[in-house]
Amino acid sequence: MEGNPGHLHQESHVYSSQDLPQVLVLEPPPILKHYSGYFSDKFDLLKAWESSLPLNQFLATHARSARALLSPGRYPLTADILQLLPSLKLIVTTSVGLNHIDLPECRRRGIAIADAGNVYNADVADLAVGLLIDVWRKISGADGYVRRGLWATNGGFPLGSKLGGKRVGIVGLGSIGLEVAKRLEVFGCEILYNSRKKKPFVSYPYYSNVCDLASEADVLIICCGLSDQTRNMINKPVMKALGKKGVIVNVGRGRIINEKELVQFLVEGEIGGAGLDVFENEPLVPQELFTLQNVVLSPHMAMFTPESLWSICEVLVGNLENFFSNKPLISQVMDV
């Protein structure tokens, strides 16, 4: 969807909150920091974090009226939470991943789920490639070297590696993984991939086993979602297969990598470097990583640009408006 994030169209009508459809929000999504007025003009937002009541009491107060819930993708929507909301019929999440939602409970209850759709794909792919270039060309390290005055006293900085010709293993060739592949092909990289199943529409070499992919790749870029099957999937055997010059970039979820083992491999020089936008216990980051020159860190921001925030705003509002108007959702998750 297109829009101008700097110039929101405001409706001229003024409604009281009693006239507006109610939407439950357990904690504030980043989008509300930027466009709260756009939402409050259209919906009566029931903001749990602003209430003096304990969460269970707050939910009990609105149990009968709350038919839609806006989720920022962090607060776990467990079966226990969902059971406190018997009238709930829709969850709209600002994320692409659904690991924070109890999907079996939603299926059992017939609760529809709408996600962010394809809004974030290009932005996440851009940052994945940016992290990879930064690690291989040592951009952040070189920047610090110059700023500390070491260029004048110590001379040249250690050389980085070229991007062209590298074998890039993409873990999760979904919509984001395909965007990453498209960008890196332009740089002359060879694309390999692992996914739940082989993709019939691409010619890239497919590896059903991540260890086998790692053994053939110079870098692994993690683009898959978090599930029981992918949790700690990037572990010691995979890193060993990747080798001492190998690089890991993660724009998926922190828990896809065994973080303790990753830190150990990086500290001991058993892999070549890492570019990390996500971590196991955000916002906590292992302090051992802070001093490593071959590691580039980012605060889970791959999906966020002014353009993507505006687009997700349109998607969220569109889904909610369609729901309350009994129209099809814009980005319904079809397998839920």
Q: What is the CA 296 to chain-centroid distance, rounded?
A: 17
286 phi-psi bin (left φ>0, alpha ψ -120 to 50, beta other)? beta
Question: Sheet harboring 167-171: ordered strands across?
Answer: 190-194, 167-171, 219-222, 247-250, 273-276, 295-297
Active-site residue, from 27, 50, 185, 282: 282
For residues 138 and 132, give the distance between their C-alpha atoms in angstroms, rounded to a whole number: 10
CB of 193 within 8 A of CB of 173? yes
Q: How many CA atoms lie within 13 A of 217 on its CB side?
A: 31
Residue 67 token pair: 């038919």
Active-site residue, from 300, 307, 314, 321: 300
Radius of gyration of the chain, Cα coordinates, nearest whole angstrom: 22
Does the active-site annotation cover 300? yes
Does the active-site annotation cover 282? yes
Nearest CA-CA partner of 248 in 261, 237, 236, 262: 262
Residue 209 token pair: 């086993």
Residue 146 token pair: 């110059």
Looking at the annotation, which residues are catalytic? 253, 282, 300
